Structure 1
Amino acid sequence: MRIKINRKLAVVIVLVASVTGTAAMAINKPEPVRYQNLKVLPKDISPHDLQSIMADDFEDGLGVTCGFCHANAKDGHGLDFVSDAKPEKEITRQMMRMTIGINKKYFKLKHPKIGNSALVVSCTTCHKGQAFPDGTAGNN
């Protein structure tokens, strides 16, 4: 009889610990990242996907760093990723729309997305690691 009580007690303890652990995980679950001012990229993009697009597509494809498109923060520390103060940011949006359109129209990709390796035309297609693809360094 004593063994049965100990087993029942052990089962109850395991169940209570399991429920408590599950509740604690639900309470401590971090809020999803909410990016502001995304106009071409999906608003629910994961931090990993956003970093991959910024580093692999833009930094590597254009040979630039974040400050090429993103304005300095007003307090002088870092960058203001939300700001549209630099025209390069809107130009980048136009270029993203253009590559999505080209891939859709000419290569019949149904849902082309920036950062997708299935894209036939990407930043690197024209830029080849240069900020200005025609070599004019912005002097048009």
Structure 2
Amino acid sequence: MKKFLTIVSLALPVFLTAAATIRSSDSAKYTNLKVLPKNISSRDLQSIMADDFEDGLGVSCGFCHANAPDGHGLDFASDAKPEKAITRTMMRMTLDLNKRWLQNKHPRLGDPALVVQCSTCHKGQAFPDGAEPQ
């Protein structure tokens, strides 16, 4: 019995720490979201980034997101790159087109039911006509 209690007392903190870590990462709080919902789930955010931007525009994260100040990874909240502002404008345009002209009353990014999506014009290229602006 003493051995069992020792094992439980050692294992319990590890289990609770792991459970808290999993729960906090699932309900991650993202900062500086201006078009996407403030309470977006990690899964939905990753899906939008992968499907709409990586696939739809053929770009990786660093196309819109600036490098982190410490040089490790990206600073997703930063507005340092103009591409991020352009992307937000394009996201709003896409939602507006679907709502105003295509009668989608509640359009949301990442919804496959959207008639107009990033890939509609971009077709896997960062710039719709294939030529980078001058």
TM-score range, shorter chain: 0.7 to 0.9
User: TM-score, structure 1 length as denominator?
Assistant: 0.78
Matched residues, number: 114
- 2:110 equivalent to 1:115: yes
- 2:82 equivalent to 1:94: no
Residue identity over aligned pairs, in percent, reads 68
Task: Flag structure 1 segments of 5+ consecutive residues without an equivalent.
Answer: 1-23
The one of 112, 123, 130 equivalent to 1:128 is 123
- Partners of 1:65 and 1:138 lie apart in 2 by 19
Residues 45-84 of structure 1 aligned to structure 2 (within 5 Å): 45-84=40-79
Q: Please state whether the residue corresponding to 2:92 is helix, strand or coil.
A: helix
User: What residue identity is the alignment partner of 2:33?
Assistant: L
- Partners of 1:91 and 1:57 lie apart in 2 by 15
Structure whose alpha-carbon radius of gyration is higher: 1
The one of 82, 89, 101 equivalent to 1:106 is 101
Task: Flag structure 2 segments of 5+ consecutive residues without an equivalent.
Answer: 1-14
